[in-house]
Structure 1
Amino acid sequence: MKRTDLLLYARRAAMGCVAILLLAAGFWSSWGTAQHVLLAKGREHGTLRVDRCGDQTCTGRYKPEGSLPARGDMTIEKSVAVKKGAQLPVVVKPGSSELVRTGAGGALHAWVPLGGALVLAALVIGGGLRMTRLAWSAAALGGALLVGAFFTL
């Protein structure tokens, strides 16, 4: 085996590892929130009325479904679409006072880090691995996820 062939294989292996690392990090970052939306059966559901928003979170009064009493000062991650007075369908993260938005908008918003990772990995796949069709597919999937989250919120 020639030295140039060995360097070519090493470059492809390194770029493959970078692409896999980007996708794994995007999935892991998304799963922390997405698990509460996708696996919501058996969790406490309700509605949040947004009272105030800070730099990172919004707080408000939470009214659970059923006969449980309402609670105040529950927090949700701030997004562009959250405004004071808005009513949001939410699920409670177990053992905390944090809420996660449910429905299609909440599910797509939870997967936004994976969408960004797909777009970044597409650059590595296309440029470093020279797999242009796979790169365009990853970029299209990531872009569709990001655009879908933007329009559903």
Structure 2
Amino acid sequence: MKRSSSQRALHYGRTAALGCVVLLLLVAGALSSWDSAHHIVLAKGREHGTMTVTGCGSEVCTGPYVPSDGGSGRSRVSVDKSVAAKKGDRFPVVVKPGTFEVVRTGTPGFLHAWLPLGGALVLAALVIGGGLRLPRIAWGAGIAGAVLLVATFFAL
């Protein structure tokens, strides 16, 4: 049975709209991740060192910072509490330029920075599989997002 032109237009419009939703999810996840990840990925020339957690508030943990190159340290820097830091923990960090904020580096920090993209991949997989009816691509995106989420959980 042939489709009428209005049915084809509706099909293409629905596909385009769902494609835009998928694109929006992935771009939002990537941009949200890049806010922290670019300090880790493009760390050359940035201030590297170690932070020791001395206390945690509702949103951030604070503590002294000791640079790895032997320069002058800082008595207090802050890192997002969501990096699973407890009082007494020490971990490598990179300082955000012009601030007293640091971002955790190494594998745990790298994975944590890309966490929003992992969630976006899982959400996009539902739209790809259910709305666009592309099950193989949906499984690939969903598994990639889930692997990132699980790896971050175990790394932190």
- TM above 0.5, yes or no, is yes
Equivalent position of 1:22 in the other structure: 25
Q: 2:152 aligns with which of 125, 144, 149?
A: 149
Equivalent position of 1:77 in the other structure: 80
TM-score by length of 1: 0.97
User: Any idea what the Cα deviations from partners look like across 1:21-71, whole Å, max 9, x if unmatched?
Assistant: 000000000001000011111110000000110111100000111221221
* Structure 1, 74-83 or 33-42: larger mean CA deviation: 74-83
After superposing on structure 2, the runs of 4+ consecutive aligned residues of structure 1 that deviate more than 4 Å are none
> How many percent identity over aligned positions?
58
Trace 1:39-50 onto structure 2 (pairs within 5 A). 39-50=42-53
Equivalent position of 1:11 in the other structure: 14
Trace 1:59-98 onto structure 2 (pairs within 5 A). 59-79=62-82, 81-98=84-101
Q: 1:140 aligns with which of 131, 134, 143?
A: 143
Give, as a single letter, the amino acid of the residue that structure 2 aligns with 1:48: M
Root mean square deviation, CA, Å: 0.9
1:103 to 2:106 alignment: yes
What is the total number of aligned residue pairs between the two structures? 153
Unpaired runs of 5+ residues, structure 2, are none
Give, as a single letter, the amino acid of the residue that structure 2 aligns with 1:43: R
* Structure 1, 70-79 or 46-55: larger mean CA deviation: 70-79
User: Any idea what the Cα deviations from partners look like across 1:103-129, whole Å, max 9, x if unmatched?
Assistant: 011000000000000000000100110
Q: Distance in 2 between matches of 1:10 and 1:69?
A: 59
Q: Distance in 2 between matches of 1:24 and 1:69?
A: 39
Trace 1:46-57 onto structure 2 (pairs within 5 A). 46-57=49-60
Trace 1:113-128 onto structure 2 (pairs within 5 A). 113-128=116-131
* Structure 1, 74-83 or 123-132: larger mean CA deviation: 74-83
Q: Distance in 1 between matches of 2:60 and 2:70?
A: 27
How many Å apart are 1:81 and its aligned residue?
2.1
TM-score by length of 2: 0.95
Q: 2:41 aligns with which of 25, 38, 41?
A: 38
User: Any idea what the Cα deviations from partners look like across 1:63-98, whole Å, max 9, x if unmatched?
Assistant: 111221221220001126210010011000111110
Q: Distance in 2 between matches of 1:53 and 1:146?
A: 24
Unpaired runs of 5+ residues, structure 1, are none
Given that 2:32 and 2:116 are in contact with CA atoms closer than 8 Å, whether structure 1 keeps it comes out as yes
